[in-house]
Structure 1
Amino acid sequence: MRDTFQVDSLIPILNNYQVKPYFVEEHGNIKKIYSNKGTFALKKMDPTIGTDFIRHVHLLYQKGYNRIVPIYPTMDGRYAVLHDKALYYLMPWMSNEVKEDRTQKHQQLFREVARMHTITAKEIKVNKEERTEHYEKTIEVLDKNQEFLDGFIDECEKKTYMSPFELVFCLYYNEISQALRFSKTKFEEWYEKTKETEKARMVITHGKISSEHFLYDEKGYGYFINFENARYGSPIHDLLPYFSRSFNTQPQRNDEAVEWVYHYYKYFPFKADEKLLFFSYLAYPIPIIQVVERYYKKEQPKNELKFVRMLQRKYWHLKNSEYVVMRMTEIDEQEKKAKEGAQQQ
């Protein structure tokens, strides 16, 4: 669309690149710029995270990681322009014409995440006391979750007539508790394995892995965008939100998700302790616990239909995560047995 005001308002920013805009299109928080030098994407960003963002992208470039949509420098070498209390950065516009099926796209995405983790991985020193403190606080939270579930079911079962929500919760209670116990067990195993270790592996995480943030150029190569949340952290922090979102469907045997994880492992295998932590976090049924807590705290009158629907959706999420975690746990056990068998021979 032609928008003279839009074009004029961007001239002070684009002058830094000697780019003269002709047309501007809105695409969410990205502006598509048609100009004298071609088509660009201009992204607006909060200045408080700008410095970290630029530093992490620079570091990835230096390490030879080139699957980030290039960020153009200004004429004086800056990678972002501060204008009207916001930061802006300029990139080429990606055509994003997907020339492969969904499976291939996800495989390429996870391969690139793994490559990014591989080339930025480093061991950092971990304070044992801090690890123990983190462990104790987490166990306390898990125990409080269990206490709440136990207290709420006791309350429900004392009633002569339960509400629809309470009735459905009672049906789901055992499975929620089972998931919580599994999560706690894996977390305890992680702590036993690492409590004497003084190092942990950290990588640059993208922070918002999504197929929407993985775009294709005209040659079919995939590139990440939206690195504003990039930081050094555990590689698990890139995978967890992605898989949690993929569980927001009706119950299904999501073997695809398992394949994605093992495709990622081909390029960046998790260590035994990282797997335990991954299983613990993936199995943690916090979404459904939060719905029960919201219902419990809500004043009367409560919209029973709305709450029952929410509870059911989070139960599906729990069942989907349960399937993936159980499959990965089985595969992990099979691999361990095969390795032990080979060593005995």
Structure 2
Amino acid sequence: MSNHLQQITPILRQYGVTPHFVESFGKVQRVYSDKGVFALKRITPTDGTDFIRHVQYLYQKGYNRIVPIFPTLDGRYAIMHQGSLYYLMPWLPNEVKEDVDERQKQMFRELARLHTLSVREVSIDKEEKREHYENTVHEWEKENELLVGFLEQCESKWYMSPFELLFCLYYHDISQALRFSMDKLKQWFEKTKDDEKARAVISHGKLSTEHFILDDRGYGYFSNFEESRQGSPMNDLLPYLSRTLETYPKKCEECIDWLYTYFKFFPLREDELNLFLSYFAHPGPFLRTVEDYYKNPHKHERKAVQRLQRHYWQLKNTEYIVMRIDEIERQKKLEKEAQEGAQS
């Protein structure tokens, strides 16, 4: 009997499952057994089992596009064994039967359904929101001061370093992105500063096509809910889009298509969209690279230049999507006002 098989046999015994053969895929074991093929997932105890509570809540709300977690014979959904937690799921084939873009759209449709069925109004403290807003504005103003100060320092030199020259070429676009982020943040706050409620959803926490598994009928199911939590829909949308746009310059029309597929089933309110655009457009990675260089100007020049260029490309990729969304929403607003004017 292999080591993996020896390790998991006492765990699976608690499910009434006898393993015959096991394949290891990192933290996941594919188990061939007397009762079919299963996936046994190992997580650290610090991750806890809060995610199981979220999964159960989604089931109660009628959302069933989650890879199910099987209970043990005595009703537990996770087992502590030799310092790790384990839980058991069916093994889905995950065969790609359509192009990648269609799979992404399917994932965004399911994400919208997940958010729709889990959405709830939660109470918020107006003073805490004001404090968060003021702290964010203060932080972004300091970032703008860093940009201006570094620009002046670079332009005062007879000979700039490659990093400094590239920064000066990019400065205008970065300062515009920061100004746009600030404007959208102010619009969000002005519209919501007196609100005492906000929408919250169960967010997946690690949105990825790797965690969106297809069964043999082509239906998609979310897996890997260990980082799920209650919060803003942006907790799923922003990290996924940011990772997607870490690439060479491109006009990602499919990203806009994915987002509007999501908005079709879970439309963001005007204030939510303003906050989404504010955080999405913010040039955080670029600014952190500039700050790091400012503090360590003679360290790894070539690597610093490469990082700056990559983050600039990401910013321009993001800028295209942000401007398209802003244009689409502005056009929709004008059409709505025209229709209301024609009816009055």
Pair in the same fold by TM > 0.5: yes
- Aligned partner of 1:42: which letter? L
Equivalent residue for 2:138? 140
Rounded to whole Å, the distance in 1 between the matches of 2:24 and 2:176 is: 47
Rounded to whole Å, the distance in 1 between the matches of 2:89 and 2:48 is: 15
Residues 137-184 of structure 1, C-alpha deviations (whole Å, 9 max, x = no match): 110111111111111111111111111111101110111111001001
Rounded to whole Å, the distance in 1 between the matches of 2:104 and 2:266 is: 16
Rounded to whole Å, the distance in 1 between the matches of 2:127 and 2:151 is: 36
Equivalent residue for 1:87? 85
Q: Does the 8 A contact of 2:202 with 2:229 survive in 1?
A: yes
- Aligned partner of 2:173: which letter? E
Equivalent of 2:325 in 308, 324, 328: 328
- Aligned partner of 1:339: which letter? K
Equivalent residue for 1:246? 244
Equivalent of 1:319 in 316, 327, 331: 316
Equivalent of 1:306 in 303, 316, 319: 303
Equivalent residue for 1:173? 171
Residues 251-302 of structure 1, C-alpha deviations (whole Å, 9 max, x = no match): 11111111111110110000000000000011000011111112222263x2
- Aligned partner of 1:324: which letter? I
Length, aligned pairs only: 342
What SS class does the counterpart of residue 17 from structure 1 fall into?
A: coil
Rounded to whole Å, the distance in 2 between the matches of 1:151 and 1:170 is: 12
The Cα of 1:248 is off from its aligned counterpart by: 0.8
Equivalent of 1:289 in 266, 287, 290: 287
- Aligned partner of 1:319: which letter? K
For 1:23-34, what aligned pairs fall within 5 Å after superposition? 23-34=21-32
Equivalent residue for 1:104? 102
The Cα of 1:187 is off from its aligned counterpart by: 0.2
RMSD: 1.1
What SS class does the counterpart of residue 62 from structure 2 fall into?
A: coil
Equivalent residue for 1:119? 117
- Aligned partner of 1:304: which letter? E
Rounded to whole Å, the distance in 2 between the matches of 1:172 and 1:28 is: 41
Rounded to whole Å, the distance in 2 between the matches of 1:200 and 1:81 is: 36
Equivalent of 2:273 in 264, 270, 275: 275
Correspondence 1:155 to 2:147: no
Residues 94-142 of structure 1, C-alpha deviations (whole Å, 9 max, x = no match): 1000111122111110110000100111111111101100100110111
What SS class does the counterpart of residue 48 from structure 2 fall into?
A: helix
Q: Does the 8 A contact of 2:92 with 2:213 survive in 1?
A: yes
Rounded to whole Å, the distance in 2 between the matches of 1:75 and 1:58 is: 18
Equivalent of 1:337 in 325, 334, 339: 334
- Aligned partner of 2:291: which letter? E
Rounded to whole Å, the distance in 1 between the matches of 2:52 and 2:234 is: 23
Equivalent residue for 1:192? 190
Rounded to whole Å, the distance in 2 between the matches of 1:31 and 1:214 is: 18
What SS class does the counterpart of residue 251 from structure 2 fall into?
A: coil
- Aligned partner of 1:113: which letter? L
Rounded to whole Å, the distance in 2 between the matches of 1:339 and 1:44 is: 52
Q: Does the 8 A contact of 2:49 with 2:226 survive in 1?
A: no
Rounded to whole Å, the distance in 1 between the matches of 2:37 and 2:290 is: 49
Rounded to whole Å, the distance in 2 between the matches of 1:76 and 1:61 is: 20
The Cα of 1:13 is off from its aligned counterpart by: 1.1
What SS class does the counterpart of residue 14 from structure 2 fall into?
A: helix
- Aligned partner of 1:207: which letter? G
Equivalent residue for 1:19? 17
Rounded to whole Å, the distance in 2 between the matches of 1:185 and 1:24 is: 55
The Cα of 1:220 is off from its aligned counterpart by: 0.8
TM-score normalized by the length of structure 2: 0.97
For 1:186-265, what aligned pairs fall within 5 Å after superposition? 186-265=184-263
What SS class does the counterpart of residue 186 from structure 1 fall into?
A: helix
Q: Which moved more, 1:319-328 or 1:79-88?
A: 79-88
Q: Does the 8 A contact of 2:27 with 2:43 survive in 1?
A: no
